[in-house]
Structure 1
Amino acid sequence: MRLAVLALSAALLAGCATPTRDARLQPGVSREAEVVALYGQARRVWPEADGGRTLEYSTQPMGQHCYMVRLAADGRLASIEDGLSAASRSRIEPGMTPEQVSRILGVERSRVFFRLSGEDVWDWTVEPDQIGYGLRFNVHFKDGIVVRTTQSMVFPSRFPGLDD
């Protein structure tokens, strides 16, 4: 039953406006108060070197997007990007720190430490290339820096009740 409710909720949310598609938000015109009125408080706020800020709207652990709303120093909307898009994920490179990764991808779905390899693996639920399975983007850290990235397919269970 819970799985059916989650599926219905996801289907309903898919039709909702998102910051990247919301015609009410205009770069150079809209202000932070308008963004917050439409989408609520950001999950995290990142200060930028030029005095601006980036508001993070992550849909993890179940969603597949993380909207990064960039505000200029004067509080006006500069841009909106999906931190979990393929283009954003491709920016993750070996040598990056956890903070650098978080500033691009947003808050992770989970973290798992693998004692034998010494890797701390963070993952994000992302849009799959095809229907029929889920997809996770994984960032492998060792000694506090990125060593590699991988992807994991997540297939629906053949056994009803195990997905709940």
Structure 2
Amino acid sequence: MTTGRTAARIAAAFTALAALAGCDPQRIDKLEEGVATEADVRAQFGEPENIWDSPAGRVLEYNRQPAGRKNYMITIGPDGRMSALRQVLTPENFARVKPGMPMEELRKLLGKPAKVTRYALKQETEWDWHWNQPPNTPMVFTAVLNDQQYVLRSGSSQDRSVEAP
């Protein structure tokens, strides 16, 4: 009996994940850079996880962690229109993560992590983001921070918690 309920819950989780993955491209297709307003973005994506100020304008963070494998940063320019929509969990952005990077800068670059694990004896905290390496290999990017909230080291590895398709 318990096994059946567990299987049903797992199936429901996968269905929700598939629906989430299918919704983002539809939402993105409805937004055009230079035309869509912040209200249009919020109508498609809802309330952002966070809002950052940048020289280019306001950046709205839309997190798809821990179930998804993408995080979006959508920039609203000074004119109130969307000037950029980008998926930030990329090898190019991971390469920008360097020892000494402050935690806030890391967060603005990659968005909220899927998982945060504290190792008190080591005085370190691991931040993990789930992402897909093309064509579709599940990966995890990990940044290790010290107690002063600066990156010590980082890297990617294959995500062993899911089977590759």
Superposition TM-score tier, normalisation by shorter sequence: 0.7 to 0.9
- Stretches of structure 2 that go unaligned for 5 or more consecutive residues are 1-7
Q: Which amino acid aligns with 1:16?
A: C
Q: Which residue of 1 aligns with 2:106?
A: 101
CA contact (8 A) 1:139 1:146 kept: yes
Instruction: Give the whole-Å Cα distance in 1 for the aligned partners of 2:43 and 2:134.
Output: 33
Q: Tell me the CA shift for residue 68 of structure 1.
A: 0.2
Identical counterparts, % of pairs: 30
Say which of 26, 32, 35 aligns to 2:32: 26
Instruction: Give the whole-Å Cα distance in 2 for the aligned partners of 1:130 and 1:23.
Output: 21
Q: Tell me the CA shift for residue 118 of structure 1.
A: 2.2
CA contact (8 A) 1:82 1:88 kept: no
Q: Tell me the CA shift for residue 106 of structure 1.
A: 0.4
**Distance verdict in 2 for CA 1:26–1:138, change over 3 Å:** same
Say which of 83, 88, 91 aligns to 2:96: 91
| Residue 70 (structure 2) pairs with residue 65 (structure 1) | yes
**Distance verdict in 2 for CA 1:135–1:157, change over 3 Å:** closer
CA contact (8 A) 2:21 2:68 kept: no
| Residue 154 (structure 2) pairs with residue 149 (structure 1) | yes
Instruction: Give the whole-Å Cα distance in 1 for the aligned partners of 2:29 and 2:135.
Output: 28
Q: Tell me the CA shift for residue 85 of structure 1.
A: 2.0
> What do residues 43-98 of structure 1 show as CA deviations (whole Å, max 9, x unaligned)?
11111135x10000001111111110011112111101111122222221111101
Q: Where is the helix percentage greater, Structure 1 or Structure 2?
A: 2
Say which of 44, 61, 64 aligns to 2:50: 44
Q: Which amino acid aligns with 1:121?
A: E
Q: How many residues align?
A: 155
Q: Tell me the CA shift for residue 100 of structure 1.
A: 0.1
CA contact (8 A) 1:67 1:81 kept: yes
Q: Secondary structure at the match of 1:16?
A: helix
Q: In angstroms, what is the RMSD of aligned CA positions?
A: 2.3
Say which of 78, 81, 87 aligns to 2:86: 81
TM norm structure 1: 0.82
**Distance verdict in 2 for CA 1:70–1:134, change over 3 Å:** same
Q: Secondary structure at the match of 1:117?
A: coil
> What do residues 92-138 of structure 1 show as CA deviations (whole Å, max 9, x unaligned)?
1111101000001101112222233322111111114565x742211
